Amino acid sequence: MKAIDVHGLVKRYGDKTVVDNVSMSVEQGEISGFLGPNGSGKTTTIRLMCGLLTPNAGGGTVLGMDLYRDQLKIKREVGYMTQRFSFYEDLSIEENLMFVARLYLLKPARQVVRDTLEDLGLSARRGQLAGRLSGGWKQRLALAACIMHKPKLLLLDEPTAGVDPKARREFWDEIHALAADGVTVLVSTHYMDEAERCHRINYISYGKLLASGTVQDVVDNAALTTMVVEGKDVNVVARILAGQSGVDQIAPFGNKLHVVGQDGAALKKSVAAAVKALDVTSHQGKTSLEDVFIQFMSKSQDNMA
């Protein structure tokens, strides 16, 4: 049984289609990345899956439970971490977790909270007010509240936004530890390094799911060519290449220029012509996940415009 198996999901608000025929499956124990630009429908799709919203069309199962008939059951078996910190800032870490424990009718509540504080390294800060926590500690509190009732599925909506690199690394170590224990994770993110830590990724753009698979699958299926130009005159090359045949993206990286396009032959011809008589070298490089996502975004139309 798949942890998530949904098909044809549609969610409309008035005449705007926010989620447009999205189908997705996630295996048990898998960490599945959910990527896409702001306003692409990631949060709405996650809320459909955890029973907070009802789809206008489509259906499927989450943890074997029907999206329509079993919304309350799904909520009890899922841990949902929202984009924004959503706890009482004038309560301590321990008081917030006690509140959540009582919502889930966990018994004995004090022991469950004590164990959760210990597991997430929060015991020493148990009395600290939530409103005075740094971004990384707020994130850890939110994760603690998500996993306290031992969910089988975690739905994490941009959980590391605004968190420093060390806290992000520690958070992902915790996620992989949970997955090793059989917890399934669907996590939305804008960070390419985080996407590459997922077993599989799904890319949604303005309501439509454009790609699914391993990172390598998604990069290979995009069939892009990337040329790397390096040297003193890369800024001159960038100006020459703008709008040339086969050139879809031009991105500077220090003294290097990444030039990307779908028509590999035309791209190589344009780059070769541009670098003549200039103090630069060029060679074919490896297409990155970021190159692929920028390509997806440039080809997509904003469904809310």
For domain 4-219, the CATH class is alpha beta
User: In CATH, which of 3.30.413.10, 3.30.70.100, 3.40.50.300, 1.10.260.40 is domain 225-286?
Assistant: 3.30.70.100
**What pLDDT score was predicted for residue 121?**
86
pTM of the model: 0.88
CATH 3.30.70.100 domain range(s) in the chain = 225-286
Strand ranges (E), 119-165: 153-157
Question: Considering only CA atoms, which of 222, 161, 151, 142 is closest in space to residue 182?
Answer: 151
- pLDDT tens figures, 236-293: 999 999 999 999 999 998 889 999 999 999 999 999 999 887 888 999 999 999 999 8
Backbone angles phi, psi at 123, to 5 degrees: -55, -45
What residue has token string 């960038």? 238
Long-range contacts, stretch 262-269, CB < 8 angstroms, 24+ apart: 262/223, 262/224, 262/225, 262/295, 263/225, 264/225, 267/225, 267/227, 268/225, 268/227, 269/245
Alpha helices in 62-108 (DSSP H): 71-77, 93-103
10 Å CB burial of residue 39 (0-12, 13-18, 19+) is middle
- pLDDT tens figures, 137-176: 888 899 999 999 999 999 999 888 878 888 888 889 999 9
3-state secondary structure (DSSP) of residue 122: coil
3-state secondary structure (DSSP) of residue 116: helix
Name 201's bridge partners: 33, 213
CATH 3.40.50.300 domain range(s) in the chain = 4-219
